[in-house]
Structures are given as structure tokens and as C-alpha cells.
């Protein structure tokens, strides 16, 4: 394995993180807060570590293969999270480093699960940093670096593939650097649009920015204990719509920009995504009708919750823990489905669900007509057998990981109950944030033991990086000559 | 620049990786998903799977905005049709690979005009030309020619007992009266333009430019002169072999071609009645010896397998054949073959990559000068370039000694009124001149790029 290239790239990531941290530093400077020095110290540490890594591992050649891609991504995310947690602990606002790691991983992986019991007393700088990690993690730390650095490697597609969500990651334009730039420009454009929409609704600048960063990355960190519930219906609608927009494959926005409207309308994943959202809104609206008895309110609440959970954002406007069982079940299933491939959302991804259903359909057909020949198609193209096998394999591994996380969580000394543990595992693994019962919308993860917090942090990383990079990173054979 | 490369075969991939290294945006088209997958995995390019003659596929690859389209599929007809359609859809320039000898006669001009092709490339013919030049001057490891006929560049490898060992370039000039320039030196992994105090060592690979007559004199003086190869044995009845045999036979040389495919042997004997065609397995050393390998002046191995070419050339040199040349398409094999002591290797892919790179650079930049020729030397670490100087070039009419050139750049020759000037400090470059440059470690697009 090209270890020099791996560590060199991680060094670059740390430098990029140091640069990104200048923004929250600026915020804390504006608000004259004490966390200013914590940020400066962290920047110094990150920059020093980054330069050191780059110096001691100057690559002899830049050739990387799929394996290096996975390892670079896994290591970069772990390193970025460990460094990103420092300001919380140094400033003393989250005294326990494990808690700070949980919070930062939750940020970068766009989960939005929090251990904070009193959000409103946090300083502005740290609140901003928390939400900013959502924004960076949503599109990807390495994609960001690729957009800036001329050429990481001829084969940086392996990094993109390991970091970007979805089963079929490709480039938009020939050059990797340009692809990364286009993705980030679309991302920045949509982010600015949402900030403007929120400002128009009367939200303060700081809160608009923080909530937009949380929406864009489909993260879910806010500044209020009751999340979005306290804001006006207009603001709730804006956030609900933007959450849905950020859950769409960004390639489609590029196609819109270059006026290839037909390809957008032919996207099977987009229609499935819209269909799932509409069906869930309908089901939940009917289910919670007796509770609210007001058409606009029911529609707003169900749309917001569905869009928040489907895109794995995790903002809430109602304590859905108190909703009837059908609604809770639908929301729990939406967590698993997640957003579209190539978006900032988590979960299993709509495209995988669609492919899996198509595969089940064709197998069904084969049982009835053993000699039938059928070609599976998706987005107008033939589905290669390797793709279908890959998707099925992913889903299998997904559930094995889920089961493992659940077993480890159940060993927690405090007995939280089955519902809490299942929903906590699902909410973290799928990067949603709030679960049910003990980790419901108005609760938080503070009560879990340190061990469980680390397990959940791992679950969030597994979910964001789509399992394999992390598994490959921790597999001993990756690091021996044999592998 | 946006460039579409069609066909992910050996030639296509070589062209696209050379163009990516130049910084162009490449879209590759191939009908095989596995080929496109491999290309996008290993190169910074985007791929489209489909039939390259299909308008939809070409549009998906963005042909409307493409500056250049290069068609390199195995079929000449597909390449021609694809280039034609691409032109109609808006591609500004098109290059087609056309290698069938039937098209490469008088009809080529007509085809090019009617199909609006910017260029037709024929890798086999180019390779044959290179081989022919090498066989004319067997002591050189490599011979490059420029658009001005009376100027050549040869590559020499200094053998352990070379008379040049231990001489500085100034001493060299004093000892040998011929007019020539040592332009580039490769020592180990390093490639550079040497200064006057540079001392040559055996094992160095050097590039020398001059007129063919001066080069002949120099080689004779050095005792390196070998007579032109008159009796040539060619292994493999490939298209390259066909072109090469035609050139050799036209010069009155003897050619013996060995191939194990009977049908191809028959076809060759039909088309090349003067050549001796042997039907047999060239990998059998017994057959080679029986056919008089030891009395040959040169042995050229042109089969489709690099490994076989390398091994049989090695065998031929062990049988004291004065000149052996192997066709080696894969770079990694080329390096190994050099370790074995085979200094003359020929790679049609590299030749084609040189041509397309030159074409793309000339398209991008035609401001103060236009590029006529581009050669990659010493494993791609140095380049030889030929420019035609235009009136708005900023370095004209300045004595060369006053020009602030970048390090590792050398002006090797100036052509004016059909005469060659081996430049000294007082010479100037004038409008309409052709200038040959050597550059190591720089990318030169324009003549003015050589200035600091």
C-alpha cells in the first residue's frame, strides 16, 4: 500500500480543517467569546500535525488504488473528528473529550445527535462550528480538498468513490478537480439561497446561518432546545422544503444547470424519492389527524417530520415520540431508506432500495417462469450484474452492522429499553439524530455510558462512509504485506 | 481544451493519458463498459459507454463543445464515419486513425477532404518510417527527423569502452572537428541539457543534432559507423512490416519476412513479390538460424507480443546480428528491455501520442509561432520541438547571447533559406525561420515559453 500517499493526504486534510476553523474563530471574535483562544490553539495543533504529516511522508509516487482510497477516507474522517472535538474540550464547554468526540462525529457525519443538555447556554462560536461540521461533512471533507488542490492523484476517483454516498459514484466532467468544484458551487449556491429565504422570514442572521448549515448537510444541529418548533410556519416550510432539496442527487442539479431537463425527469430514483415522501406524508397525516384536527397544522407537521427523517436531517417541530405507533413506525422505516445517492443525506439510499426491489421482482418472475430472460434497468441503463450483487451485498452488511451495534448497545449498564436502543442505533447508523423514547426528539444521548457513546460514534462514521472504508481500515490484512 | 478520444484500446489509452498529462479535459467513448470502467479508474477522465457512430452517444460525450475528437477504434471505417458525424455535430477538429494500406494511397487526400478530417494518422506507417530511418543509420539507438530534410537528431548510448568517456564537451569540440551539438544527456534517472564543462561518462545516453552528412562523419570518426543494413530479417507479417518492407525493397535491400500464419504469408507474397516470405514459427530459434540469421545486417521483431519481440531480439543480438530492433508497446516492458541491453525499441503508440500531443498543443496556441514537430526523448523526460517563427514573436532579431533562456533549454538549429545554422551567440532568430529546440523538464507551447 502507498502509505506515504495516505498520510500525506491526511496531512492535507488536517491543514484544510485548520483553514476551515478560521470561520468559527471569526464568529467567536465577533461575539467576543472566550472560546476564541480554544479555536486558535486547535488551529495551531491541526496545522502543525498536518505539516508534520506532509513532511515525513512525501510521496514517491502518487499512484493509489481502491484500497488506498478507502484507507485515506477512513483515516481522514477519524483524524478530522478527533481534531474537531478539541475546541469543545479546550474551551471547557464540553468537559469530557469522549462527549466532544461524539458531538463532532455527529457533526461531520451529519447525524445531529447531541449529548448537550443545555444548548442555549453554548457560545456562538462553538454552536457555529458544530453546524459548520455538518456543512463540510455533508458534501465530504476530501471532495472539498480535491476542489482546492490541483491534483491529488490521477486516480483520485477512488477517494471520491469511497467518500461520496451511493452505489454508483461517477464524475460530472472529465477532471476530478472540476467535478469537485461544481459540486461545491451548487452546494454553496443552494446554501446561500436558504439563508436568504430564512432571513426573509425574520430569523436572525446567526440562526439563519446555523440552521442553513444544518439543513444543507442534512445534519440537524440547531440552537434551540425545541429545535425548529418555536419558529413561524413560514420558516418551518422553508426548512422542510430545503431539507428535501438537499436530499436529492446533486448530479441532477448539474444536469438542470446544463439544461438537460429530460435526463432529470427520467431519473427513477428521483421519482421513487418523491413517491416515498408523498406516501409517508399521507399516511402520517391520516394517522395524526385525530390528535391535531387542523388541516394546515397536520400537513405542516407531517411534511416537516417526513422530510426531516427521510433526508436524515433530524430537525423536529413536534415530539413525534407522542404520536401513534403507525407514524412512529413509518418514521423509523424512513430512517433506513434515507435520501438519494449523491446527496448529503444518509441512510441506505433510495437508489439501493429501488434496485433491491427490482431484483426481488425479477427473482419472483424467475420462480414463475424458470426459463425467462429479463434485463434489469435503472435510470434508463442496463443494470450490470456486479452492481446488483454489490447492492445486495451492501444491504446484507448493513443489517449485520446494525445488529452488531444493537448488541453492543444493549451491554450498557443503564437499561434503556429495547425501543430506545433500537432507535438510537438506527438514528446514529443512518445519520438521522433523534430516535424514539429515551433518545426521542426532546431527549438527548447524554445518559449513555462512554463506551456506548464511542460505539454510537463508530456507528455514525460507518453510516456516513457507507461501512466499507471503515471496515477495510480496521481490517488487519489491509496493513500487512499479505493483503 | 475539451477532447474526445474514441476507442479504449492501446493506442486510445496512450493518447488520452498523454493528453491528460498536458492538462486537457478528456472524455473517452468505448462500447465495452469494462474498458470505460478501467479508464476512469486509472485516469482523470470521464467515460461514455456506447456506439461512437451514434449521435446520442456523441452528444452525451459533449461533442458540440469539443475542440478535438480523435477516433482510434480498430476499424478504419468506423473512425472515418465517427469523425464525419462528429464534425457535423459541431466538433471543431477531428483526427482519425486510418491504417489499412488500401486507404493510405492516393485516395487518402480525397477522403480527408470529403470527411473534413484535420488529420489521418497511421501508426503502422509512422512506425515503419522510424524503423526505416534507424536501419539507414544502424549505429544510433534512435533517429528523429524534422520537417527540414537536412537535419537529424540521433540518440547514442555510450558503451563502456566509448572514446567519448571522460571527455568534457569543450574537449569534444576540440577533438572532433565536425559540426554537431550534444543537446540532451540522460544519466541514470536524470535528464538535462549539458553545459560546456560537462564530462561525458560511459553509460550516458546522449542526443546529438546535426546534418546527416556531419553525423556520418562523426560516427566514422568515433569508429561507430556501421554500414547501412542491406539484409533485413523481419519477424511478423504485420501492417508495419508491410510498410517497412515496401520502403526497404524500394531502396534495393533484401527483406526476409517470417510469419506463422499461412494466409498472411500468401497475402504478403502477393503484394511484395521481391521479398522472401517464410511460413514458420519465428519463436523457433532453429528456424531463424536456418534462414541465415547470423548473416543478416539487421533483425526486426514486429510480432503482436512485446515479450516475444524482446526475447527474440535478445537472441538475435547474442547471435552477433549487428542491429536488432524490437517493437515494444508497453512502457514497463521497454524499461526491462533496456536493462537487457536492447537499445533500439520502437513503439507505434508513443509515436502516435507524440503526434496528437503536438497537434493539441498547436491548436491551443498558435500565437507567435506554430509547432511543426514534437518528439519525446529519454522516456518522456525531454522534448525536441520544431517551430515556425511568426512576425509577432517577441524573441526575433535579438542575438541569442542576449536572450535569457530558462535552464535546460537549448536552441539546436535555425533554418533559413534552406540552410542550417548551428547557432552561436551572435546568431538571431528571424521571421519565417524554423527553429529546433530541446527542452528537459519544461512544457513548451510557444517559442516565447523558453524565456525566463
Residue B174 has pLDDT above 80, yes or no: yes
User: A385 lies in which domain range?
Assistant: 378-479
> Which residues in chain A have their CB less than 8 angstroms from residue B40's CB?
157, 170-171
CA distance A345 to A432: 9
**Structure confidence at residue B365 (pLDDT):** 65
Ranking A35-39, A263-267, B358-362 by mean pLDDT, the lowest is B358-362
Give the CATH number of the domain where residue B52 resides.
Answer: 3.40.50.720
> Which residues in chain A have their CB less than 8 angstroms from residue B42's CB?
154-155
B342, part of any domain: no
**Structure confidence at residue B170 (pLDDT):** 85
Indicate the residue of A158, A174, A384 with minimum beta-carbon distance to B26. A174
**Structure confidence at residue B389 (pLDDT):** 83
Q: What is the helix (H) or strand (E) element at residue A399, kind and residue range?
A: helix A385-410
Indicate the residue of A155, A173, A175 with minimum beta-carbon distance to B41. A155
Ranking A251-260, B56-65, B142-151, B288-297 by mean pLDDT, the lowest is B142-151
B226, part of any domain: no
Alpha-carbon distance values, B374 to B24, B438, B447 (Å): 17, 10, 13
What are the cell numbers at A50? 498536518
Count of helices and strands (H, E) across chain A: 23, 2
**Structure confidence at residue A150 (pLDDT):** 64
Give per-residue pLDDT as tens, B9-45. Answer: 888 998 998 898 888 899 999 999 899 988 988 888 9
* Chain A contact for B187 (CB, 8 A cutoff): no
| Range 370-409 of A in CB contact (< 8 A) with B | 384
Same-domain status, B313 and B419: no
Ranking A350-359, A365-374, B369-378 by mean pLDDT, the lowest is B369-378
Give per-residue pLDDT as tens, A279-296. Answer: 999 999 999 999 998 999
Mutate one of A174, A257, A266, A384 to test the B interface: name it (highest B CB count within 10 A): A174
First-to-last C-alpha distance (Å) of chain B: 25
Q: How many CA atoms lie within 13 A of B41 on its CB side?
A: 14
Among A78-82, A264-268, B285-289, B418-422, which range has the highest average pLDDT? A78-82
Contact A221, A108 (CB under 8 A): no
Tell me, what DSSP letter sits at residue A443? -
CA of B425 vs chain A CAs: smallest distance (Å): 39
* Chain A contact for B40 (CB, 8 A cutoff): yes
CA distance A381 to A147: 29
Same-domain status, B324 and B272: yes
CA of B372 vs chain A CAs: smallest distance (Å): 28
- Average per-residue pLDDT in chain A? 91
- Average per-residue pLDDT in chain B? 85
B321, part of any domain: yes
Last residue of a domain, one of B203, B221, B239: B221
Among B89-93, B186-190, B387-391, which range has the highest average pLDDT? B89-93
What are the cell numbers at A69? 482510497
Four-point Cα dihedral A5, A10, A16, A20, nearest 10: 160
A433, part of any domain: yes
Q: Is A245 helix (H, G, I), strand (E, B) or coil?
A: helix
B116, part of any domain: yes
Tell me, what DSSP letter sits at residue B151? -
Residue B367 has pLDDT above 60, yes or no: no
CA of A384 vs chain B CAs: smallest distance (Å): 9
Report the domain count for chain A.
1
Residue A166 has pLDDT above 80, yes or no: no
Residue B230 has pLDDT above 80, yes or no: yes
Share of chain B above pLDDT 70, in %: 98
B190, part of any domain: yes
Same-domain status, B169 and B132: yes
CA of B27 vs chain A CAs: smallest distance (Å): 6
Indicate the residue of B25, B26, B40 with minimum beta-carbon distance to A157. B40
Contact B210, B179 (CB under 8 A): yes
* Chain A contact for B26 (CB, 8 A cutoff): yes
Q: What is the phi/psi pair of residue B276, to 5°?
A: -95, 120
Give per-residue pLDDT as tens, A182-231. Answer: 999 999 999 999 999 999 999 999 999 999 999 999 998 989 888 899 99
Alpha-carbon distance values, A403 to A110, A347, A422, A428, B414 (Å): 22, 15, 9, 13, 76
Residue B210 has pLDDT above 70, yes or no: yes
Q: State the pLDDT confidence band at A453, using cuts at 50, 70 and 90.
A: very high
A466, part of any domain: yes
Same-domain status, B149 and B186: yes
Strand order in the sheet with B298-301: B276-279, B254-259, B231-235, B298-301, B323-327, B345-346
Residue A244 has pLDDT above 80, yes or no: yes
Same-domain status, B403 and B423: yes
Residue B369 has pLDDT above 70, yes or no: no
Report the domain count for chain B.
4
Do B44 and A173 make contact, defined as CB atoms within 8 angstroms?
no
B340, part of any domain: no
Same-domain status, B116 and B139: no
In B, minimum Cα distance to A63 occurs at B42
Give per-residue pLDDT as tens, A84-110. Answer: 999 999 999 999 999 999 999 999 999
Last residue of a domain, one of B330, B359, B389: B330
Alpha-carbon distance values, A179 to A182, B35, B48, B183 (Å): 5, 21, 16, 41
Do A175 and B43 make contact, defined as CB atoms within 8 angstroms?
no
Q: Is A361 helix (H, G, I), strand (E, B) or coil?
A: helix
> Which residues in chain B have their CB less than 8 angstroms from residue A158's CB?
41
Residues 6 or more apart in contact with residue A344 via CB below 8 angstroms = A110, A138, A139, A187, A216, A217, A218, A246, A247
What distance lies between CA B415 and its chain's CA centroid?
22
Indicate the residue of A154, A174, A384 with minimum beta-carbon distance to B46. A174
**Structure confidence at residue B447 (pLDDT):** 78
Contact A454, A97 (CB under 8 A): no
Residue A415 has pLDDT above 90, yes or no: no
Same-domain status, B77 and B106: yes
A472, part of any domain: yes
> Which residues in chain B have their CB less than 8 angstroms from residue A66's CB?
41
Give the CATH number of the domain where residue B171 resides.
Answer: 3.30.70.1450
What ranges make up the beta strands (E) of B87-243? 93-97, 119-121, 142-145, 152-157, 181-187, 190-192, 205-210, 231-235
Same-domain status, B132 and B114: no
Last residue of a domain, one of B72, B102, B121: B121
CA distance A411 to A274: 39
B343, part of any domain: no
B72, part of any domain: yes
pTM for the structure as a whole: 0.82
A415, part of any domain: yes
The ipTM assigned to this model is 0.76
**Structure confidence at residue B145 (pLDDT):** 80
Same-domain status, B102 and B137: no
Same-domain status, B163 and B194: yes
* Chain B contact for A176 (CB, 8 A cutoff): yes
User: B275 lies in which domain range?
Assistant: 231-330
In B, minimum Cα distance to A179 occurs at B46
Contact B151, B353 (CB under 8 A): no
Indicate the residue of B2, B33, B41 with minimum beta-carbon distance to A157. B41
Same-domain status, B441 and B361: yes
Same-domain status, B174 and B65: no
Counting beta carbons within 10 angstroms of the beta carbon of residue B370, is it exposed (0 to 12), middle (13 to 18) or buried (19 or more)?
A: middle
Do B41 and A176 make contact, defined as CB atoms within 8 angstroms?
no
CA of A156 vs chain B CAs: smallest distance (Å): 8
Amino acid at each position: 500500500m502507498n502509505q506515504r500517499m495516505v498520510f500525506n493526504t491526511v496531512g492535507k486534510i488536517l491543514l484544510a480543517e485548520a483553514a476551515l476553523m478560521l470561520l468559527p474563530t471569526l464568529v467567536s471574535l465577533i461575539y467576543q467569546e472566550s472560546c476564541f483562544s480554544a479555536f486558535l490553539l486547535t488551529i495551531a495543533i491541526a496545522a502543525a500535525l498536518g505539516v508534520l504529516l506532509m513532511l515525513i511522508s512525501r510521496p514517491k509516487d502518487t499512484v493509489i488504488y481502491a484500497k488506498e482510497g478507502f484507507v485515506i477516507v477512513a483515516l481522514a474522517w477519524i483524524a478530522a473528528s478527533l481534531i474537531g472535538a478539541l475546541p469543545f474540550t479546550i474551551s471547557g464547554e464540553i468537559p469530557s473529550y469522549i462527549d466532544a468526540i461524539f458531538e463532532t462525529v455527529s457533526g461531520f457525519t451529519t447525524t445531529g445527535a447531541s449529548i448537550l443538555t443545555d444548548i442555549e447556554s453554548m457560545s456562538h462560536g462553538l454552536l457555529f462550528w458544530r453546524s459548520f461540521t455538518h456543512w463540510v461533512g455533508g458534501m465530504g471533507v476530501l471532495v472539498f480538498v480535491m476542489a482546492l488542490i490541483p491534483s491529488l492523484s490521477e486516480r483520485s476517483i477512488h477517494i471520491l468513490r469511497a467518500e461520496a454516498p451511493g452505489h454508483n459514484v461517477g464524475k460530472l466532467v472529465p477532471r476530478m478537480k472540476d467535478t469537485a468544484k461544481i459540486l461545491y458551487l451548487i452546494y454553496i449556491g443552494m446554501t446561500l439561497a436558504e439563508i436568504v429565504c430564512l432571513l426573509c422570514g425574520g430569523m436572525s442572521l446567526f440562526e439563519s446561518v446555523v440552521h442553513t448549515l444544518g439543513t444543507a448537510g442534512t445534519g440537524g444541529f440547531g440552537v434551540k432546545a425545541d429545535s425548529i418548533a418555536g419558529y413561524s410556519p413560514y420558516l418551518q416550510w422553508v426548512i422542510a422544503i430545503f431539507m428535501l432539496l438537499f436530499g436529492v442527487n446533486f448530479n441532477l442539479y448539474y444536469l438542470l444547470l446544463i439544461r438537460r431537463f429530460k435526463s432529470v425527469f427520467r431519473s427513477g430514483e428521483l421519482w421513487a424519492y418523491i413517491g416515498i415522501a408523498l406516501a409517508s406524508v399521507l399516511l402520517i397525516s391520516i394517522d395524526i389527524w385525530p390528535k391535531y384536527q387542523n388541516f394546515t397544522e397536520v400537513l405542516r407537521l407531517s411534511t416537516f417530520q417526513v422530510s426531516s427523517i427521510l433526508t436524515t436531517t433530524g430537525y423536529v417541530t413536534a415530539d413525534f415520540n407522542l404520536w401513534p405507533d403507525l407514524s412512529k413506525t413509518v418514521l423509523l422505516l424512513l430512517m433506513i431508506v434515507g435520501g438519494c445517492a449523491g446527496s448529503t443525506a444518509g441512510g441506505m439510499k433510495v437508489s439501493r432500495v429501488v434496485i433491491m426491489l427490482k431484483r426481488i421482482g425479477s427473482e419472483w418472475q424467475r420462480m414463475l417462469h424458470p426459463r425467462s430472460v429479463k434485463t434489469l434497468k435503472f435510470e434508463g441503463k442496463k443494470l450490470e450484474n456486479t452492481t446488483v450483487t454489490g447492492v445486495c451485498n451492501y444491504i446484507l452488511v448493513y443489517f449485520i452492522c446494525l445488529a452488531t451495534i444493537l448488541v453492543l448497545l444493549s451491554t450498557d449498564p443503564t437499561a434503556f429499553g429495547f425501543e430506545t436502543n433500537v432507535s438510537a442505533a438506527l438514528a446514529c447508523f443512518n445519520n438521522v439524530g433523534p430516535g424514539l423514547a429515551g433518545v426521542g426528539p426532546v431527549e438527548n444521548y447524554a445518559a449513555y455510558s462512554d463506551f456506548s457513546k464511542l460505539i454510537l460514534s463508530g456507528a455514525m462514521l460507518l453510516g456516513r462512509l457507507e461501512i466499507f472504508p471503515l471496515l477495510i481500515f480496521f481490517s488487519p490484512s489491509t496493513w500487512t504485506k499479505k493483503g | 481544451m475539451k477532447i474526445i478520444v474514441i476507442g479504449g484500446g492501446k493506442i486510445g489509452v496512450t493518447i488520452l493519458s498523454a493528453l491528460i498529462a498536458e492538462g486537457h479535459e478528456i472524455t473517452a467513448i468505448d462500447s465495452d463498459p469494462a474498458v470505460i470502467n478501467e479508464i476512469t479508474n486509472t485516469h482523470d477522465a470521464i467515460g461514455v459507454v456506447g456506439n461512437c457512430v451514434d449521435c446520442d452517444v456523441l452528444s452525451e460525450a459533449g461533442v458540440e463543445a469539443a475542440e478535438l475528437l480523435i477516433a482510434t477504434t480498430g476499424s478504419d471505417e468506423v473512425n472515418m464515419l465517427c469523425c464525419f458525424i462528429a464534425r457535423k455535430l459541431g466538433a471543431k477538429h477531428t483526427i482519425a486513425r486510418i491504417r489499412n494500406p488500401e486507404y493510405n494511397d492516393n485516395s487518402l487526400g480525397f477522403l480527408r477532404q470529403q470527411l473534413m478530417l484535420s488529420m489521418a494518422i497511421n501508426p503502422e506507417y509512422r512506425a515503419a518510417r522510424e524503423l526505416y530511418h534507424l536501419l539507414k543509420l544502424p549505429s544510433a539507438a534512435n533517429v528523429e527527423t524534422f520537417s527540414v530534410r537536412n537535419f537529424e537528431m540521433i540518440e547514442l548510448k555510450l558503451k563502456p569502452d566509448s572514446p567519448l568517456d571522460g571527455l568534457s564537451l569543450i574537449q569534444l569540440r576540440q577533438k572532433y572537428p565536425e559540426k554537431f551539438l550534444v543537446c540532451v544527456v540522460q544519466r541514470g534517472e536524470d535528464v538535462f541539457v549539458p553545459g560546456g564543462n560537462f564530462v561525458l561518462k560511459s553509460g550516458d545516453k546522449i542526443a546529438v543534432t546535426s546534418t546527416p552528412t556531419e553525423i556520418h562523419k562523426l560516427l566514422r570518426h568515433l569508429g561507430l559507423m556501421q554500414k547501412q543494413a542491406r539484409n533485413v530479417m523481419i519477424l511478423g507479417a504485420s501492417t508495419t512490416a508491410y510498410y517497412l518492407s515496401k520502403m526497404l525493397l524500394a531502396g534495393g535491400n533484401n527483406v526476409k519476412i517470417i510469419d506463422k500464419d499461412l494466409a498472411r504469408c500468401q497475402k504478403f507474397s502477393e503484394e511484395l513479390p521481391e521479398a522472401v516470405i517464410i511460413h514458420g514459427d519465428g519463436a523457433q530459434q532453429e528456424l531463424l538460424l536456418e534462414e541465415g540469421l547470423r548473416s543478416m545486417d539487421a533483425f526486426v521483431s514486429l510480432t503482436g507480443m512485446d515479450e516475444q519481440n524482446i526475447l527474440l531480439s535478445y537472441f538475435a543480438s547474442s547471435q552477433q546480428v549487428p542491429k536488432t530492433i524490437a517493437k515494444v508497446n508497453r512502457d514497463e516492458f521497454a524499461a526491462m528491455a533496456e536493462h537487457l541491453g536492447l537499445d533500439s525499441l520502437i513503439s507505434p503508440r508513443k509515436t502516435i501520442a507524440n503526434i496528437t500531443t503536438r497537434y493539441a498543443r498547436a491548436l491551443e496556441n498558435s500565437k507567435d509561432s506554430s509547432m511543426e514537430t514534437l518528439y519525446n526523448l529519454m522516456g518522456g523526460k525531454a522534448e525536441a520541438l520544431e517551430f515556425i517563427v511568426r512576425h509577432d514573436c517577441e524573441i526575433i532579431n535579438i542575438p541569442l547571447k542576449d536572450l535569457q533562456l530558462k535552464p535546460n533549454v537549448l536552441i539546436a538549429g535555425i533554418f533559413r533559406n534552406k540552410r542550417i545554422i548551428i547557432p552561436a551567440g551572435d546568431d538571431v532568430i528571424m521571421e519565417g525561420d524554423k527553429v529546433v529546440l530541446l527542452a528537459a523538464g519544461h512544457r513548451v507551447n510557444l517559442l516565447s515559453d523558453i524565456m525566463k
